[in-house]
Amino acid sequence: MTKFWSEMAKRAEPYVPGEQINKENIIKLNTNENPYPPSPHVITAITNEVGNNLRLYPSPTMEGLRTTIAAYYNVTKENVFVGNGSDEVLAFSFMGFFDPGKTILFPDITYSFYPVYAQVFDIAYKTIPLQADFTMDVEAFFNSEGGVIFPNPNAPTSLYLGLDDIEAIVEHNEDNIVVVDEAYIDFATESAVSLTKKYDNLLVIQTMSKSRALAGLRIGFVIGNEELIAALIRMKDSFNSYPVDRLALAGATTAIQDDDYFQWTTQKIITTRERTRQTLTSLGFHVLPSAANFVFATHETMPAKALYEQLRERDILIRYFGTEPIENYVRISIGTDEEMDMFIEAVTEIIER
């Protein structure tokens, strides 16, 4: 049947998500989900929407949510675009700002959807090797031919790049777009959103899947110059006028408004992350200094694949990539304190056995 496939379908190499197992009592530390439920007010907002408005189409402009996000980040709604998860926003960004025949740059160890989109949309790309300590070689991203995209904090390394370095990359790509993918920024320090007021070639993408516990609703958004946002709107309206449903709009708006709950759960995850990192270090792991809701680690004597497999046998899932140069590293999402205690207990038994 492949004779009927388009050239786009033939060259696509789909993204492989984290392992999903339909089994009770799994400790799921492999997909960077929030271990805590969303704000109780989110549930109320969604319930009200179910009872009253599902017969109606959602807003195609999503002005209510865009206005709420804009107020939170001190920008205007014309600086905000909302999509069905940050992956869709990334796809629209590839379509809206990267041209075939012009090579874009991203790190060689990074979010694995970038090469997928590049292949699908026939965008030439060059991967820039990370340095020995997994940090980005900032100057290697200067003067790109077609644009730059990278996560901050990076995935799966969990490392954060400071705003001075981001600004340097933006300044040295004045004729091209720089996309900063901030899926995990709420577990780090400072977002690059402030730089979007100074530079018209910077897009900052965020998600509500991680820090706001709405992975099941699929909400992503981007902040940037209003002309860039207009291009994303053109892409959306050429693909689907209603990509975000009413339940997602209601839940996401309320999640942004309940800042106290957001701050509480985020800080709780950061505290658990640091405790986990210290404990793993005491067990002989080298753990990178994480600025995300996961840690990236390798052990002196325990092979990463063996650790992943033995934990899986105990119904504990972590992420093992098995590709060079990170074939001996694992990524561990931060769960509840109870889940992390069970994880540490299992890891200790495996290593000491």
Q: What is the pLDDT of residue 1?
A: 57
In whole angstroms, give the CA distance from residue 240 to residue 56: 16
Q: What is the pLDDT of residue 272?
A: 98
69 C-beta neighbours (distance < 10 Å), count: 25
In a structure prediction context, what are the per-residue pLDDT tens digits for the chain, which is 353 residues long? 588 888 888 888 887 777 777 777 899 999 999 999 999 999 999 999 998 788 899 999 999 999 999 999 999 999 999 999 999 999 999 999 999 999 999 999 999 999 999 999 999 999 999 999 999 999 999 999 999 999 999 999 999 999 999 999 999 999 999 999 999 999 999 999 999 999 999 999 999 999 999 999 999 999 999 999 999 999 999 988 899 999 999 999 999 999 999 999 999 999 999 999 999 999 999 999 999 999 999 998 999 999 999 999 999 999 999 888 999 999 999 999 999 999 999 999 999 87
CATH topology of domain 40-258: Aspartate Aminotransferase; domain 2 (3.40.640)
Structure tokens at 336: 């509840």
Q: What is the pLDDT of residue 83?
A: 96
Q: Are 103 and 125 in contact (CB under 8 A)?
A: yes
Domain boundaries, the chain: 2-36+260-352, 40-258
CA–centroid distance for 239 within its chain = 23
- DSSP conformational letter for 58: P
In the chain, the DSSP E strands lie at: 27-28, 80-83, 104-107, 125-128, 147-151, 178-181, 202-207, 220-224, 285-287, 294-299, 316-317, 319-320, 330-333
Specify the 3-state DSSP secondary structure of 224: strand
Q: What is the 3-state secondary structure (H, E, C) of 163-182?
A: HHHHHHHHHCCCCCCEEEEC
Architecture of domain 2-36+260-352: Alpha-Beta Complex (3.90)
Residue that is written with structure tokens 């105990």 in the block: 314
Structure tokens at 54: 């599902």
